[in-house]
């Protein structure tokens, strides 16, 4: 069974993260999944791993990073992994 959890790696005061979160909340209403928010500043390992990549959306071990994240790519990414 596919996971219904979407991990969202972000940090405070990040405009791109805020925009991505709004998109995630929109798609959450459509596709019914749980958003697990991870502030990378709370974990040195996550900070090191994602510092230049955030926001990052992770589902079933696959990631969509900031450079590829748009409403269209996020919608497709979630549909292929959740729905």
β-bridge mates for residue 65, sequence order: none
pTM: 0.93
pLDDT in tens, 19-54: 999 999 999 999 999 999 999 999 999 999 999 999
Which run of H or of E encompasses 39?
Answer: strand 34-39
Question: CB-based burial of residue 50 (10 Å sphere; 0-12 exposed, 13-18 middle, 19+ buried)?
Answer: buried
């Amino acid at each position: 069974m596919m996971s219904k959890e979407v991990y969202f790696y972000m940090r405070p005061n990040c405009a791109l993260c805020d925009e991505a979160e709004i998109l995630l909340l929109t798609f959450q209403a459509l596709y019914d999944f749980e958003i697990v928010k991870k502030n990378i500043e709370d974990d040195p390992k996550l900070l090191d791993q994602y510092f230049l990549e955030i926001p990052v959306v992770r589902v079933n071990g696959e990631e969509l990073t900031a450079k590829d994240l748009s409403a269209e790519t996020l919608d497709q990414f979630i549909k292929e992994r959740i729905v």
